[in-house]
Amino acid sequence: MARRAERVPAPVRFFGAWEIETGCYVGEVYLANPDWEVPTLELGYFLTRSKTGMGFFATELAQRMIAFAFGDLQVARLDLQVAADNLPSVAVAERCGFVLEGRQRKRHRRGNGDLVDRLWHGLSQAEWIGTEASGQRPTGTSTTTGPNLV
């Protein structure tokens, strides 16, 4: 019980990211919707338009936040929701090791008014630790390639 009391009850933690070489703002990653009884958090991320589609910025941001959530915050699992038609974001979830757990039909409204399905993904701390212990990181998570972010 004392351990739960030490946790910060903030509803959302946003972290900005900038590319070291250029100083350009890349995007943000966040943790939200805590449930400290489990404990679990929801992971989210978004990029500036100029940084989308490159295949590594969102993955790098997500990987760093996953390590923070499981390592520093000691959550048991992370949730991630993605619009089903956002294929690049679905690919990020898969590269990070998230497992598709469900689909809510017509649950997300696009800016143009269209309704699309929402996909729910999950990743447990045990799954994350297992990939690190085996030396097998999920695809696309090498620390030696991709951008240098702060």
The 3-class SS string of 19-55 reads: ECCCCCEEEEEEEEEEECCCCEEEEEEEECHHHCCCC
- Position 10 confidence tier, pLDDT thresholds 50, 70, 90: low
Q: Which of 28, 26, 22 is nearest to 52 (CA)?
A: 26
Q: What is the pLDDT, as a whole number, of residue 48?
A: 83
Does 14-133 carry CATH code 3.30.1280.10?
no
Whether residue 143 is predicted with pLDDT greater than 50 in this model: the reply is no
pLDDT digits (tens, 9 = 90+) for 40-99: 999 999 888 877 776 678 898 999 999 999 999 999 999 999 999 999 999 999 999 999
Q: List the domain boundaries for the chain.
A: 14-133
pTM of the predicted structure, to 2 decimals: 0.78
For residue 25, CA distances in Å to 6, 13, 69, 81 come to 32, 18, 23, 24
